[in-house]
Amino acid sequence: MAEYIRREALNALAAVAIAEPGFLVDAFADLEPTLARYGFDLNEQEMEVFKDFQSRVQDSDQEIDALLRNPSVLHHFWHW
């Protein structure tokens, strides 16, 4: 049986990432245990989508990577 990407799973990941900044920090450090701790069970294709996102962030501007790894950077930026 072919796997597919469940849009609702990826939307739920995005919602958690927005609501809980520590989620992305933990997910970037140790993806699979973090997903399990938050109740996510992604199939292979969905994991590839997340890993692609992770890779693009890491290859992008260093400030974006720093922000996603440490959300307090945003707080500091807005409260200078």
pLDDT in tens, 3-43: 788 989 888 988 888 888 789 889 988 999 999 999 999 99
> 44-59 and 21-29 helices cross at what angle (nearest 10)?
100
Residue 17 lies in a domain: no
Report the number of distinct structural domains present in the chain: 1
- Domain span including residue 68: 22-78
Instruction: Give residue-wise pLDDT tens across range 39-64.
Output: 999 999 999 988 888 888 777 766 66
Rounded to an integer, what distance in angstroms lies between the CA atom of residue 53 and that of residue 10? 11
Residue 66 lies in a domain: yes
Instruction: Please tell me the pTM assigned to this model.
Output: 0.68
The label of the residue with tokens 């900044």 reads 21
Residue 33 lies in a domain: yes
Asked if residue 10 lies in contact with residue 47, where contact means CB atoms within 8 angstroms, the answer is: no
> How long is the chain?
80
